[in-house]
Amino acid sequence: MVYVSRKEHFNAAHKLTNPAWSREKNLEIFGPCANENWHGHNYDLIVTVKGDPDPETGFVIDLKKLSTLIRTSVIDQVDHKNLNLDVPFMQGKMASTENLAMEIWKILAPGIAKLSSRSTLHSIRLFETPRNYVEYFGE
Amino acid sequence: MVYVSRKEHFNAAHKLTNPAWSREKNLEIFGPCANENWHGHNYDLIVTVKGDPDPETGFVIDLKKLSTLIRTSVIDQVDHKNLNLDVPFMQGKMASTENLAMEIWKILAPGIAKLSSRSTLHSIRLFETPRNYVEYFGE
Amino acid sequence: MVYVSRKEHFNAAHKLTNPAWSREKNLEIFGPCANENWHGHNYDLIVTVKGDPDPETGFVIDLKKLSTLIRTSVIDQVDHKNLNLDVPFMQGKMASTENLAMEIWKILAPGIAKLSSRSTLHSIRLFETPRNYVEYFGE
Amino acid sequence: MVYVSRKEHFNAAHKLTNPAWSREKNLEIFGPCANENWHGHNYDLIVTVKGDPDPETGFVIDLKKLSTLIRTSVIDQVDHKNLNLDVPFMQGKMASTENLAMEIWKILAPGIAKLSSRSTLHSIRLFETPRNYVEYFGE
Amino acid sequence: MVYVSRKEHFNAAHKLTNPAWSREKNLEIFGPCANENWHGHNYDLIVTVKGDPDPETGFVIDLKKLSTLIRTSVIDQVDHKNLNLDVPFMQGKMASTENLAMEIWKILAPGIAKLSSRSTLHSIRLFETPRNYVEYFGE
Amino acid sequence: MVYVSRKEHFNAAHKLTNPAWSREKNLEIFGPCANENWHGHNYDLIVTVKGDPDPETGFVIDLKKLSTLIRTSVIDQVDHKNLNLDVPFMQGKMASTENLAMEIWKILAPGIAKLSSRSTLHSIRLFETPRNYVEYFGE
């Protein structure tokens, strides 16, 4: 079993506000992350896949195909977008890095299974900034 | 003459749209950077000051004071903000990295002169992403 | 279960010497790390917390509160300090990165439990240099 | 149990071609990685060892000795070399990052056991580029 | 005048050998860089353009167009290639980072002039490794 | 004229105190940098040399020889040392990054001239932390 990782990135706007709360409570809980007119980040996304290398290629998974899958199924939906307003799979959810990582897992897990029978998604690591990041293992 | 640099960072939303142009022309020229609902970045700002070190301190400028100046006069105005809507000094200007760097120069140059008689602002380097950045030397 | 990480940093001096050994043996075992007059590092500290995101905030833990906890309970005790002479929790211990990481775990684990009932400390990752680092999971 | 990591690097040329396949099939599967005249990378290698710190030194393992072991048993065999032509332990294998990481494990595991009775090899992390890397845990 | 930079990267194989010299002299002068079967690098290329921002766009140069120009005129010729054997503009030259940077200047300077009448090429910065790099300003 | 740079690093302890001042004044001016028992840093040193590439080698300067010169004449004097107590060329000077960079210039400029008649020292860039650095051009 070898773990293979690919890093991609995207830029997006978001804000953190719970619509069930007053403006005051949102500012109290989320501070400047609740600023009404949005802010944004350069997100780094690391997708890790695990499996047994194919003896014919030496690959667990073809990283060019994995990169294409991440770009077409995730990056194209979030890059240069507003996570709260423009991204269907984030509707009705807080636009936190935690929730974003869990939704990206749901999108990529079946795509990776289809891409290669010998590999499965292991983790989603998502950096909101170089100092804040989350990791999700699917459970 | 020694050049001393300090790196700070901020997160902000923006979009690139020229209000004199049609929606179509804005999308043609700016591509996804013109997306109506904004996107954003983790900006890195490097401020370089030049001068002759003070023999009593060994410093061209006290970097803690320089950091405080950058934070109070620049970062507090842009961090977790929308560069187009929330930032007074960007009103009426395209929210490009070039324009942002030139405006930051205008703010910091007099503040640095006041902070230390032996140093002057040399350059503003501003990273929009790790792969795109601008530098401005005041002229 | 999502894993959330926050990176902080501090600068400190230290040396590696076992007081039970002769000067010669210390230099033989620790080499230049035993130099009598100290040396130092820019340490990077990554604290990882795990838990289930709160549906009301989307957060496993509020990263601003986690950052404040790390700064007040750890960074303030070690930053711009001498790990051998100035840091109470390192008294009587070798000032190795391994021991420092284990002591930081002991300080942070109860604080994080108090900060949020839905999260627990998962790991302490401590970089002494960009090429040397340790990780501790509490057992 | 503490996990201690050391990063080393090397530069090498390689190509990906399966000798059982036609030139066309190799180009179809491996794309530019199959270019006949080779290409190359700056590889980063992170070796992680786990164990219980020695109370006399505070170390799981002496990182200078670990660095020397990695250099003499791995780096000297691959640095400024052609992975397909010059490296005995890669003969008859696809020169993929996956296979390279697994072979490095086989070389280092017994050497680390000899170096220190209190530590064992935990993982080999190998970056082919800053965006593509693999990790192997020995099984 | 604002300076705008774009970073791209490519992977290539090369070796350093002067065909006028004996094998022994090549090894004496170039050491392992002269290894017969090549080695390689992940090169980082930073292209800096200077000019006056266009008031209608806020741009010195459209960075997407600059990126496309760099990729089509430089990266496509060197990426996953052998600098000594496969790259027409390096024929008859030592494959040093210095020479490569000067040749890239010759290719990009006229292309950038064509791309935008308000900007000119300022510098080529080329990293062979994170620790070795060159910069060329066209004269 | 091509500019060639080499990055090296060292770890050292220091403190900032002016012996002509009271303890109170030192703490007021230097803050925690004046802590009596020292603190320390991982310094990154970038040495830039300029010249015309030698047509026989393609080199402005042999980077292995430059690296050896930096190590033997600078790094060996400061690595794992106390800049205030152990380093002859810093005696009687404030141990600021500015002063350290200027002293390193004085050591390296003649050594580089001796190493290669076609190159001269252009600049010393010295990072005290990833966010604070100085640059010196010899005048």
Q: Which residues of E are catalytic?
A: 33, 80, 128
Domains and CATH numbers, chain E: 2-11+42-136 (3.30.479.10)
Regions in chain F scoring below 70 on pLDDT: none
Task: Please list the helix, strand and coil fractions of chain A in percent, rounded to the nearest 5, in that order.
Answer: 35, 30, 30
Each residue of E39-89: pLDDT tens digit?
A: 999 999 999 999 999 999 999 999 999 999 999 999 999 999 999 999 999
Give the one of E1, E56, E64 whose C-beta lies nearest to B18's C-beta: E56
Shortest CA distance from D48: residue in chain C = C134
Say yes or no: C99 contacts chain D, CB-CB below 8 A.
Answer: yes
Can you tell me the ipTM of this complex?
A: 0.96
Question: Can you tell me the distance from the alpha carbon of F61 to that of F50, in angstroms, rounded to the nearest whole number?
Answer: 9
| Contact present, B108 and B124 (Cβ < 8 Å) | yes
Residue with tokens 């073809």: A62
DSSP 8-state class, residue B118: T
Residue with tokens 């760097």: B101
Give chain A positions within 8 Å (CB) of C62: 29
Give chain F positions within 8 Å (CB) of B48: 135
Does pTM surpass 0.95? yes
Q: Is F41 exposed, middle or buried (0-12, 13-18, 19+ CB in 10 A)?
A: buried
Give chain F positions within 8 Å (CB) of E131: 6-8
Say yes or no: C59 contacts chain D, CB-CB below 8 A.
Answer: no
Say yes or no: C11 contacts chain D, CB-CB below 8 A.
Answer: no
Give the one of B99, B133, B137 whose C-beta lies nearest to E53's C-beta: B99
CB contact under 8 A, B95 and E58: yes
A66-93 in b/e form (b: 16+ CB < 10 A) is bbebbeeebbebbbbbbbbbbbebbeeb
Question: Can you tell me the distance from the alpha carbon of A82 to that of B39, in angstroms, rounded to the nearest whole number?
Answer: 6
| Contact present, B21 and B90 (Cβ < 8 Å) | no
Q: Find, among B65, B62, B49, the residue nearest to B105 by Cα.
A: B49
| Model pLDDT, residue B103 | 98
Q: Mean pLDDT across the stretch A33-40?
A: 98
Looking at residue E29, its amino acid is I
Q: Find, among C92, C94, C91, C106, the residue nearest to C136 by Cα.
A: C106
Give chain D positions within 8 Å (CB) of C130: 7
Give chain B positions within 8 Å (CB) of A80: 32-33, 35, 39
Complete DSSP assignment for A18-75: -TTS-HHHHHHHHGGGG-TT-EEEEEEEEEEEEEPPPTTTS-SS-HHHHHHHHIIIII
Touch D-C: 3+ C-beta pairs under 8 A: yes
For testing contact with chain B, the best of A9, A42, A76 (most B CBs within 10 A): A42
What Rg do the C-alpha atoms of chain E give, in angstroms? Answer: 17
Shortest CA distance from A44: residue in chain D = D131
Q: Find, among D72, D67, D76, D65, the residue nearest to D46 by Cα.
A: D67
pLDDT band at E34 (very low <50, low <70, confident <90, very high): very high
Each residue of B23-50: pLDDT tens digit?
A: 999 999 999 999 999 999 999 999 999 9
CB contact under 8 A, F18 and B53: no
For testing contact with chain C, the best of A28, A91, A133 (most C CBs within 10 A): A133
Shortest CA distance from E83: residue in chain D = D39
CB contact under 8 A, D3 and C136: yes
Please provide the distance, in angstroms rounded to a whole number, between the alpha carbons at the two ends of chain E: 20
| Model pLDDT, residue F6 | 98
Each residue of D69-112: pLDDT tens digit?
A: 999 999 999 999 999 999 999 999 999 999 999 999 999 999 99
Say yes or no: A56 contacts chain C, CB-CB below 8 A.
Answer: no
pLDDT band at E15 (very low <50, low <70, confident <90, very high): very high
Q: Mean pLDDT across the stretch E123-129?
A: 98
Q: Which residues of A are catalytic?
A: 33, 80, 128
| Model pLDDT, residue C125 | 98
| Model pLDDT, residue C116 | 87
Residue C106 has a CB neighbour count (10 Å cut-off) of 11
Cβ contacts below 8 Å, chain B against chain F, sum to 57
Say yes or no: F38 contacts chain C, CB-CB below 8 A.
Answer: yes
| Model pLDDT, residue B43 | 98
Each residue of B13-24: pLDDT tens digit?
A: 999 999 999 999
CB contact under 8 A, B4 and F130: no
Phi and psi, residue D125, nearest 5°:
-115, 125
| Model pLDDT, residue D116 | 87
Strand, helix or coil for residue F116? coil
- The tokens describing C107, both together, are 């300080």
- Angle CA B76–B73–B88, to nearest 5: 75
CB contact under 8 A, A81 and B11: no
Say yes or no: E81 contacts chain D, CB-CB below 8 A.
Answer: yes
Question: Can you tell me the distance from the alpha carbon of E113 to that of C13, in angstroms, rounded to the nearest whole number?
Answer: 52
Our answer to whether residue D139 is catalytic in this structure is no
| Model pLDDT, residue E102 | 98
Each residue of F54-90: pLDDT tens digit?
A: 999 999 999 999 999 999 999 999 999 999 999 999 9
Strand, helix or coil for residue E76? helix
Strand, helix or coil for residue F9? strand
| Model pLDDT, residue B25 | 98
Say yes or no: F30 contacts chain B, CB-CB below 8 A.
Answer: yes
Residue C129 has a CB neighbour count (10 Å cut-off) of 17
Shortest CA distance from C57: residue in chain A = A94
Phi and psi, residue E120, nearest 5°:
-135, 155
* Subunits with 3+ C-beta pairs closer than 8 A to C: A, D, F
- Mean pLDDT score across all residues of chain A: 97
Question: Looking at the predicted structure, is the pLDDT value of residue A116 above 90?
Answer: no
CA distances from C107 to B23, C101, C111 (A): 56, 10, 7
- The tokens describing C90, both together, are 């390192």
DSSP 8-state class, residue C117: T
Cβ contacts below 8 Å, chain C against chain F, sum to 75
Regions in chain C scoring below 70 on pLDDT: none
